[in-house]
Structure 1
């Protein structure tokens, strides 16, 4: 007989085919036991050192910006543009102000001396040299011409008009011409011959004219037209100093024939012309006398 204790009897379990049942599951839930948190049912993401592709949500699962977020972005962009425009305006105004101050600043160069007003004066160059000598002739100013000098220059070489205080007929016996004649017996010279029985008569058409050369420049104040029965209803008077350039001094559209005494302001003239534009009847224009006083 030995002192060793006898081996306790072992619990023999019957052999059951398949995996051994979990004693915890068979025993049921234990009060107070820790349970792992529930796992999400969607796709899992791998982090850390886990290898393999990481699961990401599809395009339909990504968060989209709502109306409030878009409005905030627009407001921010508008504010930025406003600030930039204000800065540019300030910069432009500042540059313009500097330019104005610079342009208004008085010149540091001395004012040139006005030597052209003194006859015979010559400007003195500040620094002698070829350039100063070349600029000297152009710096001399020519005195301005007065109105009297201009008038005298325009009439230079032209004789003064003579006055006719006695009222003499200046056309008497002077050369006369006309646009046309009815015949040799009615030539223009018969209107200035001083004979009341002779006359000038034109062709039977409009317009027609007769002119007389006074021989020199006279101050004309009066023209007398002594009409025959064929007179002008519409006609005018013109004067000229050279027989080329004419200036009309009188006109009528209500001629009645007879003796027509026309008074005008004193006008320098060497040539005096009457032009008819509408006659009274079927005949031409006819004058017993064409007097200039």
Structure 2
């Protein structure tokens, strides 16, 4: 019997308002997806990693082509024509991406999200159905910080024409950079380089500039709410030559002053207005 169906839990629900254990439709669907991902019964398509500098090749993920529908348009176009399975579609596809990155893409296809390992790193393969070595950690990207992982996942969303993956990566970046806010000035500068740099430096295409908006907001909120005066000066010094970033930050501060300004900022603005009137 499921725990939520016990007499005790039903009594708590009736008298204490405790309904945390009652499954929602989303929870039920997620549990179904987990079961399908775990058992892999009826898989008809295989993703295979090609060896490169990020790890050994030959890692395989058996997937259900039907689960790709509505996820990656790039994969879907190769597997389906006019809404039906393409009879000449290949049984596998070889992709030259890091195995631990591909592992998270497969996880997202089924679960609608992806997870990082301890310390916000990509250390292990969790969803692969065949690994040509007993040591799965050989594929780890131990030196890639979590913000760069999320940017890589956003890039995969762009490459695979997978808007939902981009949305998940963006949400995780927002949580990291704006909600939790524990980034030193040097990391903000790195994010500026990765989103504002030239094509050879930046990670994602970011056609609509959403990642740039996020980094600008992260810099503003860290500076206004978290940094000491010394850290603010450090960030200003580090980014003083990033013309586009500085222009966007200035524009954001001006356009959204009423949202951004802290009480002391408003008091100072009022004092300046009074001085101008007296002058």
For Structure 1 versus Structure 2, the TM-score category normalised by the shorter chain is under 0.3
Higher relative contact order, structure no. (Cα contacts within 8 Å, ≥ 6 residues apart): 1
- With normalisation by structure 2, the TM-score equals 0.18
- With normalisation by structure 1, the TM-score equals 0.18
Greater fraction helix: 2
